[in-house]
Amino acid sequence: MAWNVKVRGEGRPLVLVHGIASSLHIWNPLLPRLAAERRVITVDLPGHGATAPEPNPAQRLVPAMAARLVEEVRGVGVEAPFDVVGNSLGGWTALEVARIGAARSVVGLSPAGLWPGAGPSSIRRHFTVLRRTGRAVPGLAHRILNHPVGRTIALWTLFGRPWQVPADEATVAFDGFVGCAGFTDLLAQLSPFHFEGGAAIGVPVTVAFGTRDFLLLPRTARHRAELPPQTRWVDLPGCGHVPTWDDPERVAQVILDGTA
């Protein structure tokens, strides 16, 4: 079962990994800037976008996904180590790629897994409620997303400036979120775990959180103990948990600087 992988641009490879219940489309606002300088590889994780769900529970754990990511990237002619960027679950995956020695550098945008024990129950509840609500009224949700005020109300916990997300892109993100085939199994697999063993990572690591990220809070989900000492922490003013549409220019520059 191959993953859906897209390649754009020329230059040193740059791998982008989306978060849970998302897809490679979330990187669209950054692609023109990034692909002007780099060979950009985007992927759909198992059960997301155009990639089929992973039937083996053991392969849904983040370390296993990181190892599989290395294989999938090799399939488009890119050998490790490579620069890897991830948002949320993708950020955790990127850190795991570095932990196994397959990363040249890492940029985590609101990376998941930086909690000290099991994942906060508030995150599981939040995602579950959003999906149930969206599935119950899909037609109404589409109409709401056609208006900036509606997007602001519906998406404020994910984006810092949801009114800036184009209506068609908001609909794609919404449909992917509520229809994500791998969501339930993946969330159940991930909830008991966190990222660990990263202190020995020797490559550059950048961690960036938006100042409007209300999903992964500093007190519960931004612990630094498992990260290497050279980790650079960056604030993204006005950005939310998914910052790509909030400030594409700033986020692209953080990625290019972190993987320079």
148-168: per-residue pLDDT in tens? 999 999 899 899 999 999 999
Q: What is the mean pLDDT of residues 71-82?
A: 97
Q: How many domains does the chain have?
A: 1
- State the pLDDT at residue 138: 75
- State the pLDDT at residue 178: 85
Contact 70, 43 (CB under 8 A): no
The DSSP bridge pattern shows strands 39-44 and 13-17 to be parallel
SS3 43: strand
| Distance separating alpha carbons of residues 190 and 210, to the nearest angstrom | 23
Contact 85, 14 (CB under 8 A): yes
Give the pair of three-digit tokens for residue 84: 């890897």
With cut-offs at 50, 70 and 90, classify the pLDDT of residue 185.
Answer: confident
**Strands across the sheet with 103-109, in order?**
4-8, 39-44, 13-17, 82-87, 103-109, 205-210, 232-236
| Distance separating alpha carbons of residues 207 and 219, to the nearest angstrom | 16
The owner of tokens 């991930």 is 190
The answer on pLDDT for 221 being more than 90 is yes
Q: What is the mean pLDDT of residues 225-253?
A: 97
pTM above the 0.85 mark?
A: yes
AA letter at 125: R
| Distance separating alpha carbons of residues 66 and 78, to the nearest angstrom | 15
Average pLDDT over all residues of the chain = 93
With cut-offs at 50, 70 and 90, classify the pLDDT of residue 136.
Answer: confident
| Distance separating alpha carbons of residues 194 and 207, to the nearest angstrom | 16
The DSSP bridge pattern shows strands 205-210 and 39-44 to be unpaired
- State the pLDDT at residue 120: 81
The answer on pLDDT for 107 being more than 90 is yes
Instruction: Give the residue numbers spanning the domain of 151.
Output: 4-258
- State the pLDDT at residue 227: 98
Q: At 63, which CATH number?
A: 3.40.50.1820
Q: What is the mean pLDDT of residues 120-137?
A: 81
The answer on pLDDT for 45 being more than 80 is yes
Nearest 5°: the CA angle 106, 208, 153 is 130
With cut-offs at 50, 70 and 90, classify the pLDDT of residue 184.
Answer: confident
Contact 6, 24 (CB under 8 A): yes
With cut-offs at 50, 70 and 90, classify the pLDDT of residue 121.
Answer: confident
The DSSP bridge pattern shows strands 39-44 and 4-8 to be antiparallel
